[in-house]
Structure 1
């Protein structure tokens, strides 16, 4: 004949979250998993209601009421922190000896696994909780892998976009980036100045010292332009030795004239390539977005280009602003040259 201890031992293997109480509500045995919930403090000998607070059904006020709930779903909460919620079902023992209550975590299982460091050994082998935990773990792993992949893809996208808008030799913006900036400023109704800079005597550097020296000069030119402008200005290399500077909100002609002259002065400083001294200069032409009633990137670039070539005709190493008369002068000069 199976003894009470035999029953308790069998229950511990099959239902590791069971509680057995006597007719007075004293815990006579419980499953091994519950030891983790009470931090190793054995519930045996304690009043059932001192350990677990019965939340529902609300009409249960005593052990005798509890014993009347056979087959009903019971809702409990641990009285000690972290006050984990559990569900259970009660089965009366023969001859009024008490009751067998099998507990489970329900939807609180993830919190319980985290709070009490539970493993698959703490659940019945047939408990679907194990499969759910595996699915949750697999989902978490898949989501983390997806997150890492998205981060890599995002990083690759940013790098590709950055590369698409960057001049690889100088690190400045390229023509595509400049077009993007101009379109953004114009569509936003922002005023800006546009300066076109062309290097003088750069060809002689390439012819005399080679293209590697020319690359060194271009990199130094880029550094000087960045140093002479504000952090939020745009400096772009749009051709071999051509650069465009965009000054958002800077419409003061005196300040722009000073900036152009300072830039030309800096570019006339010797640039060393090994033991060789490379010398260049620059010419610059500037136009303001307010020159046109309806600003257009191509039209503004044309105006800056007109001012630039007026500076070159005036003897190079100069900065000039666009004026309508300059266009007629350029046409006349080109006609005579032809």
Structure 2
């Protein structure tokens, strides 16, 4: 660079140079900052910059540390990695261009990959960048990407919620909101496997409503639905969260009880539920009257509880309750005989 060109560059008004390079530094031969671009001054707001030693404010980390303007000039044309020595230690990329002898060095900086963080931290706007600087476009692209990623995240959450709702619906009886047969089978398999491996015991309770068919025949299915919902409410209130309450047929319910597993306790729970179910249930201006028969078996009766066998045994105990006159609870005992007729009319 000849002297006339260097002198012309040095005489360019700082404001004009700042519009072209908002993050430039003019470093004198003594190593002091003579001028700085407006964006750089904004980034260093609150700390002295003009008149300060360049290397007191900035640390050059790559391609190697420097200790003087002479060493800085030796890195002319090479990409520099710099950072502010004091917090916030904002990182920069830079390029140094020596001026004529005695005029020092021009260092032009950019924010590099730390653009987004610096924009947020220092509240920069597009006015803080040169009109030809691609940083603003890159920032817009990043913001667009963030918006897209946020929308995708929201969509994934909605899909996950929809999937959870669909799975819940597949496991739930649509009328009563209780577990359905599919969910019961899965829960019973888990309970049986756990008890067979030395885990917590459980009781299996099979409930069939008495006189439910008469309600449907005389008052219609809407009345029957009202009865089923009332029965579901009673069973929820008589059990605990650790128990499973399922509707497995039109008027059949199955409970997996962990909170009460001894036969006497299960019979007491069943008696309370039966007594509540026998209370008249109002439907419009009519009263529905039902009862319930209950069969029970407990996992402790089996060396290795088998879900199918337990369901069969609870069903046999239920049938025994029907044969005894309904509205009662029977606990299965080993050796209970299978009757010739499978079920008395409901």
Query: Residues 308 and 320 of structure 1 are in contact (CA less than 8 Å); yes or no, is this contact kept in structure 2?
Result: yes
With structure 2 as the length reference, what TM-score do the two structures score? 0.87
Which of 290, 295, 301 does residue 285 from structure 1 map onto? 295
Verify: 1:132 aligned to 2:146, yes or no: no
Find the counterpart in structure 1 of residue 154 from structure 2. Answer: 148
1:209-235, CA deviations, whole angstroms, 9 ceiling, x for partnerless residues? Answer: 222221111111101001111111011
Matches within 5 A, 1:287-306: 287-306=297-316
| Aligned equivalents of 1:289, 1:128: Cα separation in 2 | 72
Aligned residue-pair number: 334
> Is 1:158 paired with 2:164?
yes
**CA shift for structure 1 position 67:** 3.6
CA distance in 2, matches of 1:101, 1:54: 12
Tell me, in whole angstroms, the C-alpha distance in 1 between the residues paired with 2:193 and 2:11. Answer: 84
Task: Indicate if the aligned counterparts of 1:35 and 1:41 stay in contact, CA closer than 8 A.
Answer: no
SS at match of 1:96: coil
1: CA distance, partners of 2:68 / 2:191:
76
C-alpha separation in 1, matches of 2:152 and 2:224: 46
1:97 positional shift? 0.9
1:269 Cα shift? 1.4
Determine the structure 1 residue equivalent to 2:257: 247
Q: Kindly indicate whether residue 191 of structure 2 is the aligned counterpart of residue 185 of structure 1.
A: yes
Query: Any idea what SS the aligned residue of 1:95 has?
Result: coil
> What's the offset of the Cα at 1:303?
1.1
Which shifted more, 247-256 or 274-283? Answer: 247-256
Partner of 1:215 in structure 2? 225
SS in 1 for 2:204: strand
Aligned to 2:31: 25
How far 1:10 moved relative to its partner?
A: 4.4
Shift of 1:125: 4.1
TM-score by length of 1: 0.89
- Measured against aligned partners, the alpha-carbon deviations of 1:81-112 in whole angstroms (never above 9, x if no partner) come to 21112232211111321110111222322221
The 2-side partners of 1:277 and 1:249 are apart by: 33
**Does the 8 A contact of 2:242 with 2:259 survive in 1?**
no
| SS of the residue 1:303 aligns to | helix
Out of 268, 276, 280, the residue aligned to residue 278 of structure 2 is 268
Match of 2:42 in 1: 36
Kept in 2, the 8 Å contact 1:235–1:243? The answer is yes
Q: Which residue of 1 aligns with 2:329?
A: 319
- Taking a change above 3 Å as real, the CA distance of residues 3 and 253 of structure 1, as seen in their structure-2 partners, is closer
- For residue 246 of structure 2, what is the aligned residue in structure 1? 236
- 1:291, distance to aligned residue in structure 2 (A): 3.4
Deviations 1:289-337 (CA, angstroms, capped at 9, x unpaired): 3434443322221111111011011011010011344334x12x569x9
Aligned partner of residue 109 in structure 1, secondary structure: helix
- Alignment RMSD, CA only? 2.5
Deviation, 1:23, is 2.0
> Take 2:72 and 2:240, find their aligned partners in 1: how far apart are those partners?
78
For the pair 1:104 / 2:114, whether they are aligned, the reply is: no
Spell out structure 1 runs of 4+ moving beyond 6 A: none
User: Deviation at 1:192?
Assistant: 1.8
> Structure 1's 256 and 65: CA in aligned 2 closer, same or farther, altered over 3 A?
same
Contact 1:310 1:326 in 2 (8 A): no
